[in-house]
Amino acid sequence: MKTLLTVVAFALAATGASAAPVLIGHKTVASEKLDAATLKAVFLGKKVAWDGAGRVVLAVLKGGPVADEFLQKTVEMNASTFNNHWRRLAMTGGGSAPKTFEKEDDLRKFVAETPGAVGFLDAAAADASVATLPLP
């Protein structure tokens, strides 16, 4: 019985698992003040420069539950709508599109090496090479 309960609990945990996105940034971004409105302005391309860390460089995952959850939480868009928002900007002279990544490891490495970079990934993929920023 105990084994069965363990299996059921494990299965429920697996099926109900949700993404746990965290906001990461280059070490230069760690001291920036990021409230919800600022973060939204950053990811929508309205705030293009940090207060003290130079140009904002966006790094985003191409898709998946982490991207969906993060984007819904920060800019109230799903990945498709966010995608179209940036296509409109980039293709009409309204902004510089985010750098996109298939793999979280590549995104983290890019953020770690690029001053002003900010992005998101699953909490389990964050490490000390980047600054983990509090999500407002």
Give the residues lining the site for other proteins (CB under 8 A). Answer: 37, 41, 46-50, 54-55, 60-64, 67, 76-84, 86-88, 90-100, 116
Q: Which is nearer to other proteins, 46 or 105 (CB)?
A: 46
Backbone angles phi, psi at 46, to 5 degrees: -90, -30
Q: How far is the CB of 88 from other proteins (least distance, A)?
A: 5
Q: Which is nearer to other proteins, 10 or 95 (CB)?
A: 95
Q: Which is nearer to other proteins, 55 or 127 (CB)?
A: 55
Neighbours of 106 (CB within 10 A): 15
Q: Which is nearer to other proteins, 9 or 76 (CB)?
A: 76
In Å, what is the CA distance from 105 to each residue of 29, 54, 122, 126, 135?
19, 24, 10, 9, 20
Q: State the distance between the two ends of the chain, measured CA to CA, in whole angstroms.
A: 43
Q: How far is the CB of 28 from other proteins (least distance, A)?
A: 12
Q: How far is the CB of 30 from other proteins (least distance, A)?
A: 18
Half-sphere CA count of 119, side-chain side, radius 13 A: 32
